[in-house]
Structure 1
Amino acid sequence: MTKPARPYRSVLYIPGSKERALEKAQGLAADAIIFDLEDAVAPDEKPRAREVLAQALRADYGSRARIVRINGFDTEWGRADAAAFADHPGVDAVLIPKVSTTADLDAVAALVPGKPLWAMMETALGMLNAGAIAGHPALQGMVMGTNDLARELGARGRPDRLPMMAGLGLCLLAAKAYDRVIVDGVYNAFKDDEGLRAECAQGRDMGFDGKTLIHPLQLEIANAGFAPDEAELDLARRQIAAFDAALADGQAVAVVDGKIVENLHIVTAKATLARAEAIAALSV
């Protein structure tokens, strides 16, 4: 399962039981939506939420990727969730909570054959098995569940997220090794714009494709934070032009802004421009 070319800058959680929120999500500027049947739905509401969501996903969500987070198979609802969306035409992928081993993926894959899987990475064991999980043939993406991971680790919250770095790094390495989508965990203080902006910048610098969000107010900052800015695009264009000129002159390297530019920099530059084009295509 290869990584889709589409952007995943903003991945918004929407409760699967809230009809009004499901309707409103059709017009939100999210690259992807996680329709949540797990944490966002009370136990007594889970069967009804499954029915509500199945109906809602027959509507048009445009270019937004539609991902359904089911309940775990260690609960009474997980298998029924998987069966309900296995052949649903409005579902692009199924997100599995608390993936710790490839066996968790195997169990769901057997009930949703052919449907791409995403894994919530939120347990200590999941961090240690990140490479094997990322290499699963049905896996398309990974979502960091930093709240659950912090709880399991007994970690304190810090602006620099130092307690999370080992887990974030292991999952990033695994995702990049197998060319999977990987999105960062949520920022809980949804009215703290500066804090969110800083955490998006940190996640983008680390290599995440985007960020999971808990409120529509966070969309604009995440979309901007995980998109190439004009300075990056300008540099990419100048690097490509300078390198092409160097090759035409029989040289293997160029110099831009006093820095060496080799072929590896051109690969990155072209990827930056392609990302901007993919984002622009979403906006049409």
Structure 2
Amino acid sequence: MLITAACSSGSGDAKSKGGSGAQHSASGSTQPSGSASPTVQAAAYSKLPDPCAVLSKNTLSDLVPKGASSGKKGGSDDPSSRGSCSWSSLDNNGVKGSQFRWLNVSLLRFDSDTARGAGDTQAHTYFGQQVKDAEAVDGAKNTKLIPLSGTGTEATAVRYDLNKKEGLFKQQTVVARVENVVVTLDYNGAGLAGEKTPDADELTKAAEKAIKEAVGAVSSANDTSSSGSGTGSSASPSKQASKSPSKSASSSASPSKSATKQS
């Protein structure tokens, strides 16, 4: 009996010690030796062109004939990431009325960032939001969405009518994305004081031509070997969104305000 008890006791201790050792070994084997740092693809474009120089003199003469040389650059705390320029034109025909035109080009560049993702992905999201905002303008009538081809990576034109106290304004908002840069072009026209309302199709064609030039200017400003910082060294997209050119464009693009100043 004493011998049996002694053997049983020794066997139990061995199992207990063996089980504890196995658990310790298994626990130790699951400890990570280290984790790789997250990476994100670098943005294609690292800079922007001068927003007041993205359109040729001929194009400006067509869109804003009386204001081709009156480009006004918008304020920016980081010209490499955001910029805008606007032009206004008033062709005064005396008692026959006046033809008014207003043009604004806004550029917004997104850097790749490990927290926010690739620059082109962020730009795609912003592109979609710009189109939605253009479709949802208060008071807009006869809104029409026109997908465009051959203009950057993706492009869409939104046109609509705005009936203001000065007259009926024909508005075109064209949004295009090329890689990690979004270009938004706002162009409107109106016949004031009895002048004929401009043709919406003609204004849209002019705006489409202009957006292609602006997109080309963005590509030309960046060498094919140029790439943005993958760590988001420039202005962060969150700050860009809070100071979005679309907001400044919306306030300055108000046909009633523009027409009032020109009148």
Could you say which TM-score interval applies, normalised by the shorter chain? under 0.3
Greater relative CO (CA pairs within 8 A, separation 6+):
2
- Hey, which of these two has a bigger chunk of strand by percent? 2
TM-score by length of 2: 0.21
